[in-house]
Amino acid sequence: MLTIWPILSIIAPAPVKKHLQILLYNVHYYLEFVRKVVGILKHDFSSDYCELAHPLILDAFRAIGYTQFEGYGLDEFSERAAALVRSKVSAPSADVHFIGGGTHTNLVAISSILRPYEAVIAPESGHIFVHEAGSIEATGHKVCTVKGNNGKLSTAEIEAVVLEHCDEHMVKPRLVYVSQSTECGTVYTKAELSAISECCRKNELYLFLDGARLGAAINSPVCDLSYGDVAELADAFYIGGTKNGAMFGEALVICRDEMKTDFRFHLKQRGAMLAKGAAIGLQFEALLKDNLLDELAKHSISMAEKLADGVRALGFDLLCPAETNMVFPIFPAETADKLHELYGFHDWTDIDDMTAVRLVISWATPESAVDTFLNDLEKL
């Protein structure tokens, strides 16, 4: 399409050249999009938010299109959803706040908890360190990273950071950040999270749990934690909706009393208080009232298990255990390149002449997409 531009640039009148060029590039872009999505790209395994929302969520939006409600999360839908969250996590006294996305939730929660000189301990793969554009540091709080193991922190690593920061000439570690599941798709067991919680309390540290994929973690066959266990062990955490069937939204649960004070002021100041807060509340009401959130998570895990088993059956190794809805196969670089022509996914890391890729199964991934991927992989 763009090859005809040199000709047009010669014959087109000067006043319309710029407009023709813009039009040509737009047409080219959309034709490429159609070619990839309709003509070639069979399925997108890039993330678990590639689909807009579960039909029940869309039905909930349709049902209240002309309904008037209170703003800023004080509406009836958010109140009912908050009650459902408290019931689900067995924490009747917890504060529940609905926030638009994971990065915003991490930012507001962590920055509201810490004093200016206090810092966060996180694994070097942690979302707040790698994928949030330095949002925590931008609020003045250093992120002290440790290596971790397949995305998980250990108590020894936490205590090493605490010991290293020994006086007022350094930042003071005050909060431990963990993800459940981790960026590597692995999960903390009850024993592991209990040990971290005990370590935090012994060292006067807060424990904050990023639950963007908490549904997938809790429903993992290797996880022995309940939602109630998480509420008991963490000072604050959230249940992710964006990556588990919602259009957008996370449910932040604050269990520790001193974190609750004036939290809505923090929400407002950080731009996280949505005027139409009902848009998140009604989604969580739909996700929780009939256990939809867990059913969607179970589907994604089931499809991920099938994908991981199929990849291993074809002779390929995995970079880390496939415990939730993410699978990290290690392919020859040439094989990964050829798969990129057929599917959407992210390269994770290079290992000599091999490439570890990340394949994410969503709540909506059909079994046929997994079967087709494995068939194409076998052919390659």
* Short-list 367, 331, 372, CA closest to 349: 331
In this structure, what are the phi and psi dihedrals at residue 353, rounded to the nearest 5 degrees?
A: -95, 20
Average pLDDT for residues 220-248, to the nearest whole number?
A: 97
Is 33 in the same domain as 127?
no
Which neighbouring-strand residues pair with 253?
A: 96, 237
State how far the Cα of 226 lies from the Cα of 1, in Å rounded to an integer.
Answer: 55
Q: What single string gives the DSSP state of each residue in 88-103?
A: HTT-TT-EEEEES-HH
pTM metric for this prediction: 0.88
Is 98 in the same domain as 169?
yes
pLDDT of residue 5: 42
Whether 260 is covered by a domain: the verdict is: yes
What is the number of structural domains in the chain? 2
End position of a domain, from candidates 247, 274, 292: 292
Residue 260 half-sphere exposure, CB side, CA atoms within 13 Å?
10
Indicate the range of 36-50, 137-151, 313-327 predicted with least confidence: 36-50
Is 6 in the same domain as 93?
no
End position of a domain, from candidates 292, 309, 336: 292
State how far the Cα of 234 lies from the Cα of 261, in Å rounded to an integer.
Answer: 17
Which neighbouring-strand residues pair with 210?
A: 179
Whether 329 is covered by a domain: the verdict is: no
pLDDT digits (tens, 9 = 90+) for 176-186: 999 999 999 99
Is 28 in the same domain as 140?
no
Is 102 in the same domain as 247?
yes
Q: Which domain holds residue 260?
A: 55-292
The contacts of residue 288 (CB under 8 Å, 6+ apart) are 81, 84, 85, 88
pLDDT digits (tens, 9 = 90+) for 87-142: 999 999 999 999 999 999 999 999 999 999 999 999 999 999 999 999 999 999 99
Number of Cβ atoms within 10 Å of the Cβ of 281: 28
Element (H, E) at 192: helix 190-202
